[in-house]
Structure 1
Amino acid sequence: MSSINRLFLLPVIGALLVCAMPGDSWGQASDDEKLRIIAFGAHPDDCELNSGGVAALWAEEGHAFKCVSMTNGDIGHFGMSGGELALRRMEEVEEAAEVLGISTEVMDIHDGELMPTLENRKKVARLIRDWQADIVMVHRRYDYHPDHRYGGVLIDDATVLVMAKYFTPDTPHLARNPVVLYYHDGFEKPYPFQPDVVVGIDDVAEKKWKAIAQMPSQFSDKQSWTWGTREEVPDDEDKRMEMRIDEIKQRFENQADTYRDRIIELYGSETGQDIRYAESFELSQYGRQVSVEELKHLLPTFD
């Protein structure tokens, strides 16, 4: 590398390192200690599934939470597709958001076609900046679906640039780098999910299940995608939704049981033993680095 190139790169690298440094203050826009959280999901249901509990808890405390679907969900159904399905799923996440007390947005990118392009990096950077996000949530880059994986890559790539003044200069840069949290997943390679923080959601569990029930195209249509075979799905729509909600309840009960030791470390033995449902998150190294105690201060239910 030439000396000229080195001279050019040194201030750039320095700026990026500063972006990742921890700070003393949390709020981007004000000092009222109200947080602004933006949670990205690959599809219209991912955010609600993975973080609907903490979303409801934050909202009840007066914090501003926004779900963003990075694709429009226009496939992933056996009976409909295209604009008709995309519009239906947009309406469903809006209804779910109303239940949770949060905001929502759906990006106009085809389901199954999300790519980590420069154009998309700029789009998500603008969304993070426009929301003045203190916390960003997303999938890890290790997951079963390409949209999940590339969604994680996009946020990893954008997070380090949201403080860079001349990256997408049409949107004001952030004053502080946000904390980035990854959703839980079951992948073991190249390394397994690490539960830096596990949040008990029992107090808002029914609200979360109700929000999920607002998305029948994802869960209760006879021809929606299912975790089993379509032949085993009940004919009655209410029974189909009940079956799906029971499966989802089990998923978050399993998270609480799997990470019981971690829950007890965070909440103490008396409270930790009693938590039935939990959502767990891993701290990303691409965002602001914080201690466990700082994470507990940021997340709900640890007062």
Structure 2
Amino acid sequence: MLRTLVIAAHPDEPELYAGGTSALLAGAGHAVKFLTLTNGDAGHHELERAPLARRRAEEAWRAADALGVVDYEIFDVHDGLLEPTVELRLRLMREIRAWRPDLVIALHGDGAGHPDNRAAGKLAEQAVELVTVRNVECGKPALERQPVCLLMTDYASGPAHRDDVVVDVAPVAQAKLDACLAHASQFLEFAPFQRGLLDQVPPADDMDACRSFVGKHWSEFLGPETFQLAPYGRQADAAELRRLMPFGRASLLTR
């Protein structure tokens, strides 16, 4: 069994940016884990941090069920305050060593956008670089080799993102939509509030209408999912990418 780890900053990002690929990986026999480096407790216009963090954790597990993801871990770090510290680097190293992934999917560490997202990308890069170094101790033994690493694009990294791997997620489109809708606090409440769309949100129990609402307003993330080969981690050729992602189209670009 192959093992995949998706590392993001906030609950709902693995689903939106790599949820279709994750569902396909799970269907292909991978054990897929989601890991977010904050608890998402800033992302609401009404709820306070503590009840929001509890709610988002519950939503995360419903999303995992929709996609076939077997584990969803959320660091208890405040949303909006993530920094690439040594302490968090070691904590993330420990989780990577414990999960022993063949494939890591992470955010871009540079560029514009949410500071937490960029910090999560940097932490993933730093942690992967050291997972095989036995004298850097974090409570778990060093891995024998680094995982292959891919970068997923978020709402701000598109201009710098390179489409090295393109995955057709149409066969699992409904599962991805349902995973997003599990995060009702985001897709039916906070994001519509930010976008001035609260008056257009359908009733939460009308799933078809809710899927149409998300499909309309997040359409840029509901087509094929694309990934860039990370400059860190084990470098993969086309054959290994097809082994790790047997459903996608790999196009390796010259660096």
Shared fold by TM > 0.5? yes
Displacement of 1:302 after TM fit? 4.4
Q: Is the 8 A contact 1:216 1:241 kept in 2?
A: no
**Which residue is 2:107 aligned to?**
139
Percent identity reads: 37
**Which residue is 2:230 aligned to?**
284
**Which residue is 1:37 aligned to?**
4
**Secondary structure of 2:142's aligned partner:** coil
Displacement of 1:241 after TM fit? 5.9
Q: Which of 139, 149, 162 lines up with 2:118 in the alignment?
A: 149
The verdict on how the C-alpha distance between 1:217 and 1:302 changes in structure 2, with shifts beyond 3 A counting, is closer
| 72-81 vs 191-200, greater mean Cα deviation | 191-200
The 5 A counterparts of 1:16-95 are 34-95=1-62
The 5 A counterparts of 1:195-210 are 195-210=163-178
Deviations 1:133-190 (A, max 9, x none): 111111101240000000001011111100011212521111111111100246579x
Displacement of 1:213 after TM fit? 1.2
Q: How many residues align?
A: 243
Separation in structure 1 between the aligned mates of residue 29 and residue 203 of structure 2, nearest angstrom: 38
| 113-122 vs 179-188, greater mean Cα deviation | 179-188
Residues 1:129 and 2:97 aligned together: yes
TM-score by length of 2: 0.88
Q: Is the 8 A contact 2:91 2:138 kept in 1?
A: no
Runs of 4+ in 1 over 6 A off after TM superposition: none
Which has the higher Rg, Structure 1 or Structure 2?
Answer: 1
TM-score by length of 1: 0.75
The 5 A counterparts of 1:226-237 are 226=192, 228-230=195-197, 233-234=200-201, 236-237=203-204
**Which residue is 2:161 aligned to?**
193
Displacement of 1:73 after TM fit? 0.7
**Which residue is 2:84 aligned to?**
116
Runs of 5+ unmatched residues, structure 1: 1-33, 254-276
